[in-house]
Chain A
Amino acid sequence: NAGVMQNPRHLVRRRGQEARLRCSPMKGHSHVYWYRQLPEEGLKFMVYLQKENIIDESGMPKERFSAEFPKEGPSILRIQQVVRGDSAAYFCASSPLGTAQKLFFGSGTQLSVL
């Protein structure tokens, strides 16, 4: 049973470009969460999605950031017109239910903005 799969593992973008981060949840999990980790800090919640629905996006910056979890395929975190401050590790987690569960994280995508 594969774990939460994230790709790419590392992503380098120049300022102004777009970044697309992908997350495939564990088999049987329909709830996906995105978190961001700045250097030397803990993770911060960004968004919680179910298939075709955004449940809670209270941690998402209002501009340039969007997330989706389509009926088919992986969840996508999209960052438009990246800036240096977007450089961070982005982690995806999944759970079978939306309520209190042990959370399983992917290996993360390290985004570097030049």
Chain B
Amino acid sequence: GIQVEQSPPDLILQEGANSTLRCNFSDSVNNLQWFHQNPWGQLINLFYIPSGTKQNGRLSATTVATERYSLLYISSSQTTDSGVYFCAVDKNNFNKFYFGSGTKLNVKP
């Protein structure tokens, strides 16, 4: 399978701060998605981003497929951003995803 490494594993921010989360993967992929798992365990799809850059409000993501990494940017963080952020990749477009271990984010008021 594909190895997916996320960094940092843990991150503590003061409300209003910016952050960058990184996802490295070991093989070429056709699909990459970022998810947010909130403290209640619910998984929210943030971005479908196999390549390029996308923005959604305070969040943006960039995937450089040729160099096998993706970045998730969070600007002006809020306490509701707390939770675990997962990167997931799929090599063959069949939605069989390999997940990283996640970045656990804690935003303090």
CA distance A40 to B45 in the complex (A): 19
Say yes or no: is B79 at the interface (Cβ < 8 Å to chain A).
no
Is B96 a contact of A42 with CB atoms below 8 Å? no
Known: A31-B95, A43-B88, A45-B96. A102 touches B45 (CB 8 A): yes
User: Across the interface, which residues of A come within 8 angstroms of B101, CB to CB?
Assistant: 40-42
Stretch at the interface among A65-73, A76-84, A89-97: A89-97
The answer, among A42, A95, A101, for a CB contact under 8 Å with B86, is A42
User: Across the interface, which residues of B come within 8 angstroms of A33, CB to CB?
Assistant: 95-96
Query: Which single residue of chain A is at the shortest CB-CB distance from B46?
Result: A102
Known: A41-B101, A42-B86. A48 touches B41 (CB 8 A): no
Say yes or no: is A99 at the interface (Cβ < 8 Å to chain B).
yes
Per-residue CB proximity of B34-51 to A under 8 Å, as 1/0?
Answer: 010000011101001010
Using a Cβ–Cβ cut-off of 8 Å, how many residues does chain B contribute to the interface with A?
24
Query: Which single residue of chain B is at the shortest CB-CB distance from A40?
Result: B101
User: Across the interface, which residues of B come within 8 angstroms of A42, CB to CB?
Assistant: 4, 86, 88, 99-102
- CB-CB contacts below 8 Å: A82-114 with B: 89, 91, 93, 95, 98-105, 107-108, 110
Tell me the B residues contacting A by CB distance below 8 Å: 4, 30-31, 33, 35, 41-43, 45, 48, 50, 86, 88, 90, 93-102
- Of all A-B residue pairs in the complex, the 7 with the closest CB atoms, nearest first, are A42-B99, A105-B43, A100-B93, A100-B31, A102-B48, A43-B99, A99-B93
